[in-house]
Structure 1
Amino acid sequence: MVATPTSGKIISYPAKTVDRAELALRCAPFHLALFAKLRWEGVSVPKLAGALGVNAGYTRYPLSELNVETATNWLIQVGMLRREVDGQGLTDSFRLTPLGLALVQKWEDKGGKLPSVSALDRLKNWNARWVRLLF
């Protein structure tokens, strides 16, 4: 379980939720620098796509806007991210959730780099991500 302080309250997450979110974070095509920035401000899809994302140190390789949307939507589903809202409604920017804040802090405290993922980890993440669409 991970507990995160938000608004003076402690939020406790089941281990399965934390494990799934952590695996999704590690398998995502994004660097920890992006998530650290999302702690303080939203980042929009166009800033993550193509060479902009790579040059800013946010992505591991150039991504299309569709790939950015797909990857961030999975991170929303596992509880890492949320869409940023402005006065007109939802935007194309993202922010960290309390669970996301806790996990980013954990990896920053462990040296500021996400650990590499094995082929088995990628398969587990793929399974969690895509099999749920079938049912």
Structure 2
Amino acid sequence: MTVTHSKMSQSVQYPEVTIQRARRAVRCAPFQLKLYIAMREEGVFLGEIAGTAGFKAGYTEMPIPELNAENDLLWLINVGVLRRKVDGQGITDSFRLTPLGRLVVREWQEHGESWPAKLTRFDRVANWLRRWLRLPL
């Protein structure tokens, strides 16, 4: 198991299979490291990620329709990398990193441009199967 520490000095343990699944999902998502770093600091609204706004901000390599961006963000929530930010009135359309997401992003930053490495066909198929068919892999 890999251990990560939160701000409150409590350790969170994740099975290696969970970390691998999170890495794969982040690598398959259409988002750039800049977005994840912004989400680590504060919530980022969907409108800032989708379309030309996300492209201009450096969050995506090309403009992504809002529905597609939201679906990709919701998948990252299901994997455990992201969460929706909550305000006094409930859930917002703003997204933040979870402790697992912070671990994966920290690894990405430490490896720089060499991570994520080129995705293999297995990575893409495994992510697709988990996402769309909900098969255990």
Q: Same fold (TM over 0.5)?
A: yes
Aligned equivalents of 2:2, 2:45: Cα separation in 1: 28
Corresponding position: 1:60 with 2:80: no
Aligned equivalents of 2:41, 2:117: Cα separation in 1: 23
Where do residues 65-80 of structure 1 align in structure 2 (5 Å cutoff)?
65-80=66-81
Aligned equivalents of 1:2, 1:100: Cα separation in 2: 13
Q: Which has the higher contact order (CA 8 A, sep 6+)?
A: 1
Q: CA deviation at 1:2?
A: 2.7
Aligned equivalents of 2:53, 2:118: Cα separation in 1: 23
Q: CA deviation at 1:117?
A: 1.2
Aligned equivalents of 2:126, 2:133: Cα separation in 1: 10
Aligned equivalents of 1:30, 1:105: Cα separation in 2: 15
Taking structure 2 as the reference length, the TM-score comes to 0.92
Matched positions, count = 133
Unaligned runs of 5+ in 2: none
Q: What percent identity do the matched residue pairs reach?
A: 49
Taking structure 1 as the reference length, the TM-score comes to 0.93
Q: CA deviation at 1:114?
A: 2.7
Q: CA deviation at 1:107?
A: 1.0
Unaligned runs of 5+ in 1: none
Where do residues 29-40 of structure 1 align in structure 2 (5 Å cutoff)?
29-40=30-41
Partner of 1:117: 119
Q: CA deviation at 1:42?
A: 0.7
Q: CA deviation at 1:61?
A: 1.7
- What RMSD, in angstroms, separates the aligned Cα atoms of the two structures? 1.3
Q: CA deviation at 1:90?
A: 0.3
Question: C-alpha offsets along residues 74-112 of structure 1, whole Å, 9 cap, x if unaligned?
Answer: 000000000000111000000000000011001101125
Match for 1:94: what amino acid?
Answer: F
